[in-house]
Amino acid sequence: MKKEGKIAKRTISTILLVVFVLMGAISLSVGLQMKHILIERYSDVSISYVKSVADFVKGDTIKKYYTTGKKDAYYYEIENYLNATANATVNSDKAEGLSIKCLYVFVPNEDGFTYIWDAEPGVEPEELLTKYPYSEGAKEQIDKFLNKTVTEDIQYYTDGVDSTPMLTVSVPLYDSSGKVVAIIASDSEVSDINRALNKIIIGVLASIALIMIITMLVYYFATKKLIINPIVKLHEATDKIIDNIESDETVDIDIHTNDEIEMLANSFENMDIKLKEYIRKNEAITAEKERIGAELELATKIQADMLPNIYPAFPERNDFDIFATMNPAKEVGGDFYDFFLIDDSHLAMVIADVSGKGIPAALFMMMSKILIQNAVMGGDSPAEALEAVNRQICSNNREEMFVTVWLGIIDLKSGLLTAANAGHEKPIVKQPDGDFEVLNDRHGFVIGGLDGVKYRNYDIQLKEGAKLFLFTDGVVEATDESDELYGINRTLEILNSLKNERPKGILDGVKKSVDTFVGNAPQFDDLTMLCFEYREMTNEFTVDATVENVGVVVDYIAGKAENLPFTTKDKHHIEIAADEIMCNIANYAYENGTGKATVSVKADSEALIITVKDSGIPYNPLEKEDPDVTLPANERGIGGYGIYIVKKLMDSVTYEHKNGNNILTMKKLFKK
C-alpha cells in the first residue's frame, strides 16, 4: 500500500512547531522587556511622591517627636499631608496605575525602626514611636542611607500573603545640618503590571499568529508546487520505469522547476535509458556466462573422466589396492593423477601439478597425462619417460608452462618400485611394521622448464603390507584463516593415525583433517592425493578331497604361477609337487573317503608359497624316512616316494598340525 502526503504533513507540522517555538520566545522576550519598562515607570512615579514628601517635611522636627513622643499642630499637618498624598494615588490618572498602600516616615536604629508618621488609606495609622524589627536585608540598605552612599532605594517584589506585585521606594530625610535623621518610604501596589503585560503579550501573539498562518499557507502551497508535485511525478515515473523495465519504451518526465529537482528528473530519464542499455548488455553477458558455465561444467566432467575414478580400480586383483582423489580450487584444475597396468605384473602411478589454474592448466594437464602414459606404455623407464615428455613439451611451450611430476612403476611380483621425480613433492612411505615417513628421493627439474634435462631412477623395495602416499602441494600448503600452513608435520601425524586404514580411508581422513584445519578460509590450490597399498598375493581355493579334483587344483596353482618369474621347468616342478600332495590327501586323509582340501597361493618378493590344508587324520609326511634311491628297485621299500619327490622339486617344505588341521607349506624361489 502506498503512503502519500507525508511531505505536506511533515511540512505543516514543522511550520507549526516553528510558530509555537517562535511565539513562545517572542512572548518571553517582550514580556521581560515590558515588565522592566513598567517597573521603571512606576518606580519614577513612586520616587516623585516620596521626594515631594521629603521636600515638605522639616527634618529638624524629627528629633523632637522621636525623643518626646508628643504630637503638635505641625505633626498633624504632616499626617494630613501624607494621607492626602496616599489617597490621591488611588484614583489619579497621574499615578498611571500606581496605588500607594502605605506612606510612612521612620527613624532607623540598631535593632529596628520607629514610626514617626504612617499614612495608610482606609487603615488606622501606627502610633507614634511604634517599633518594628528590620526585615531581611533592610539593615544593610539603611546603613547605606546613613553613610550617604545611596540617595534612593527601589525594591520590586511579590506580596507573600496575596501574591500582589509590590513596589517599595525610600529616600533619606535630612535635617538643616545635612544629617540623615529619618527615612521616608512608600509601599505601592502595582497589579496593573501583570494586566498590562497580558494585554501586550496577547497583542503580540495575535499579530505573530496571523503573520505565521499567512506565511505557512504561502510556504505550503509554494512547497507543494515546487517540491511535492515534482516529487510525486518522479515517483510515478519510477513506477513506470519499473513497469516497463523489459520494454524499449523510455520515460518522459515533465518537470520544469529550473532547480535541482529538474536536474534530478533529467537524471531519472538518463538512468532509464542507461538502465535499459545495461539490461540488454547484461542479458547478453548472462547468456555468455551461462554458456561458459555449461562449458566449464562439461570441462570439469571431462577432466574427471580423464582420470581413473571408478573404484575398486582393479576388482580382479587382490595383490594391491589403490585410491586417488582430486579437488580442484577452480572449476577445473591443473593437478592430476594416473595409474594403469602396463602388463599383469607392472603398475604405473603418476601424480603431477601443473603451474597455474583453470582452463589453461587443465589443457596442459591433459596433454602431459597422455604423453606420460604413452611413454610408459611404450616401454620407457620412469626417468626415460620423463625425459621424453620434457623434450616434447619444451619443443612447443610458448606459454612457458611447466609441470612437476612423480612417476613410479612397481613390479607387483617382487614389490620393487622404480621411480623418478621431476620437481614434485617427496613421496611418503610406510613399511608393514613402521610409520609413514617422508622419503628423501632424488629430485630432477620440472617438466617443461628446460630442454635436455636428464632424470634418474631410484628404487624403493615395498614389503607386503607397505603403503605409499603421494600428494600435491595443495595438501601441505593448505592455509587457515590466520595464514598458517597445514604443513608436512600435520600430514604425517594424520597419516600415522590412519596407518591401519585402507587407501580410501586414509585419503578420506586426510581430506577431513585438511578441511577442518582450513575452516572458512578459501581454497587457493588444487588438492590431489593418491594412496597405494602393496598386499600379499594370496588366494584360497577349497575343493572336495577327491581324485577327480586333483587336476582342478593343479590347474589353479599353475594359473597363479603363470606370470611369475619361473622357468618352464620350474613351473612343471610346481605342478608335479601339487599333484603329489593332492593325491595323498584324496587317497589317505579321510577314513570315510569324504572331506575338504583348501589350497592358498601367495607370492612375496622372493618366492611363490603354496599352502595345502585338510582336516583329516593327523599325519606328518616329513617324518617318513627318505627312500634310498641308490638301491635297485626290487630292494627299495614301498611308499615315501611322493613326498620325497616334492621335497626335491620345491625349495622348502614344512608341516604343522594346528586347530585340527594338517597344514603343509611348499615354497618355490623366483629365479634371479
For the residues 500-510, what does the mean pLDDT come to?
94
Residue with the bigger pLDDT between 453 and 296: it is 453
Q: Please give the residue that has the higher pLDDT: either 517 or 355.
A: 517
pLDDT at 371 over 70: yes
Closest CA to 338 of 328, 354, 350: 350
Q: Identify the pLDDT of residue 121.
A: 78
Within a 10 A sphere around the Cβ of 645, how many other Cβ atoms?
A: 15
Mean pLDDT (whole number) for 430-459: 92
Per-residue pLDDT reduced to its tens digit, 281-339: 877 777 776 665 555 555 556 655 678 988 888 877 778 999 999 887 665 566 889 99
Please compute the mean of the pLDDT values over residues 263-271 and round it to a whole number.
75
pLDDT score of 120: 82
Interacting residues of 495 by C-beta distance below 8 A, sequence separation 6+ = 428, 430, 436, 469, 506, 510
Task: Indicate the SS3 state at residue 565.
Answer: coil
Place 93 in a pLDDT band, splitting at 50, 70 and 90. Answer: very low
Average pLDDT over residues 29-46: 76
The pLDDT-based confidence of 509 (bands split at 50, 70, 90) is very high
Residue with grid cell 618366492, as numbered in its chain = 607
How far is 608 from 647, CA to CA, in rounded Å? 15
Residues of the chain with pLDDT > 90: what percent? 30
Has residue 84 got a pLDDT over 80? Answer: yes
Over residues 110-125, the pLDDT tens digits come to 888 888 888 887 778 8
For residue 491, give Cα distances in angstroms to 243, 326, 336, 532: 59, 17, 20, 16
Q: What pLDDT sits at residue 94? A: 47
Given a cut of 90, is residue 527 above it in pLDDT? Answer: no
Higher pLDDT, 388 or 94: 388
Query: Above 70 in pLDDT, residue 217?
Result: yes
546-605 pLDDT per residue, tens: 989 999 899 888 888 887 888 999 999 999 999 999 999 988 889 887 799 999 888 877
pTM above 0.85, yes or no: no
Q: What is the pLDDT of residue 98?
A: 67
**How many contiguous H segments (helices) and E segments (strands) does the chain have?**
15, 22
2 confidence band (pLDDT: 50, 70, 90): very low
Half-sphere exposure in the Cβ direction for 122 (13 Å, CA): 5
Share of the chain residues as helix, strand and coil, in percent rounded to the nearest 5: 45, 25, 30
Q: What are phi and psi of 104, to 5 degrees?
A: -145, 160
pLDDT at 385 over 90: yes
* Strand order across the 165-174 sheet: 131-133, 112-119, 99-108, 180-189, 165-174, 153-158
**How high is the pLDDT of residue 196?**
66
What is the C-alpha separation between 107 and 381, in angstroms, rounded? 139
Q: Which residue has the higher pLDDT, 97 or 152?
A: 152
Cα–Cα distance, 621 to 604 (Å, whole number):
26
CB 558 within 8 A of CB 570: no
Q: What is the average per-residue pLDDT within 441-458?
A: 92
Instruction: State residue 663's pLDDT score.
Output: 94
**Mean pLDDT, all residues of the chain:** 83
pLDDT value for 290: 67
Which range among 87-101, 126-140, 405-419, 620-634 shows the weakest confidence by mean pLDDT?
A: 87-101
Q: Express each pLDDT in 155-200 by its tens digit.
A: 877 776 667 778 888 899 898 888 998 999 888 877 666 666 677 7
Closest by alpha carbon to 428, among 530, 497, 516, 311?
A: 530
pLDDT in tens, 619-665: 998 888 877 656 665 555 555 678 888 988 999 999 999 999 999 99
Q: Residue 255 above 60 pLDDT?
A: yes
pLDDT confidence of residue 124: 80
pLDDT greater than 80 at residue 233: no
At residue 392, the pLDDT reads 93
